[in-house]
């Protein structure tokens, strides 16, 4: 009887430690019911990239330009870490839209991808007309981008990473220059990958 009571006490004391490890992760919220609109952009290999490229996959989108010397290097250093951390998960992709419609043609994007060490189709760098890129940024991804001649490098954009699910819905928005927010994204990716799998 004493042994039973002792074991029961141990179980009660251990339960706060055991319970969290059995708890399922909460699903990520759907931040926008409107799915990302159909699109077609040219990638770094001059190949048309569309929604079908990302069909039934999750992806992280951002907006940048190759000559940016302020937030873009920080963003893409952090994005590269995610790209490498999840290199064994082909169901996760990355989509970087250039906002420099004058210079960042596919050949410039190809040089940029090589410099980053990106050599597979999981991370697409895409170019489009000013109207197509700026419209999808603001109306679909809800990210600010603009051409501004008074800005240091002629462009202004937010440094957000936008997490998109297999239904083309926004499931998370993270500051790509903030280590804590990038760390949170790293935790959220497996949660969404599991949801898609189920």
Q: 89, 123 in Cβ contact below 8 A?
A: no
pLDDT given for residue 22 in this prediction: 42
Q: What are the residue ranges in the chain where pLDDT is below 70?
A: 1-24
> What's the whole-model pTM score?
0.86
> 144 CB contacts (<8 Å, ≥6 apart)?
137, 138, 156, 157, 158
Number of H helices, E strands in the chain: 5, 9
User: Could you give the percent of the chain with pLDDT greater than 70?
Assistant: 88
Structure tokens at 9: 């006490």
Is residue 163 exposed (0-12), middle (13-18) or buried (19+ Cβ within 10 Å)?
A: buried
Residue 173: how many CA atoms within 13 Å on its side-chain side? 15
pLDDT given for residue 150 in this prediction: 80
Q: Where would I find the beta strands (DSSP E) of the chain?
A: 40-43, 48-50, 58-64, 92-98, 123-127, 145-147, 155-157, 160-164, 170-175
Q: Can you list the domains of the chain with their CATH numbers?
A: 28-197 (3.40.30.10)
pLDDT given for residue 9 in this prediction: 41
């Amino acid at each position: 009887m004493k042994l039973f009571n002792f074991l029961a006490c141990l179980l009660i004391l251990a339960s706060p430690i055991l319970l969290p490890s059995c708890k399922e992760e909460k699903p990520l919220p759907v931040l926008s019911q409107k799915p990302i609109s159909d699109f077609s952009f040219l990638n770094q290999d001059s190949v048309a990239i569309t929604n079908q490229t990302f069909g039934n996959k999750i992806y992280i989108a951002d907006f940048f330009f190759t000559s940016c010397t302020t937030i873009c290097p920080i963003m893409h250093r952090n994005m590269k870490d995610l790209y490498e951390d999840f290199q064994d998960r082909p169901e996760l992709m990355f989509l970087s839209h250039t906002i420099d419609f004058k210079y960042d043609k596919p050949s410039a994007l190809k040089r940029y991808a090589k410099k980053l060490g990106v050599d597979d189709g999981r991370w697409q760098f895409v170019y489009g007309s000013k109207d197509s890129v700026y419209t999808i940024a603001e109306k679909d991804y809800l990210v600010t981008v603009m051409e501004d001649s008074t800005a240091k490098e002629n462009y202004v954009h937010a440094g957000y990473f936008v997490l998109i699910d297999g239904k083309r819905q926004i499931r998370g928005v993270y500051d790509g220059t903030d280590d804590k927010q990038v760390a949170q994204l790293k935790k959220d990716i497996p949660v969404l990958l599991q949801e898609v799998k189920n």
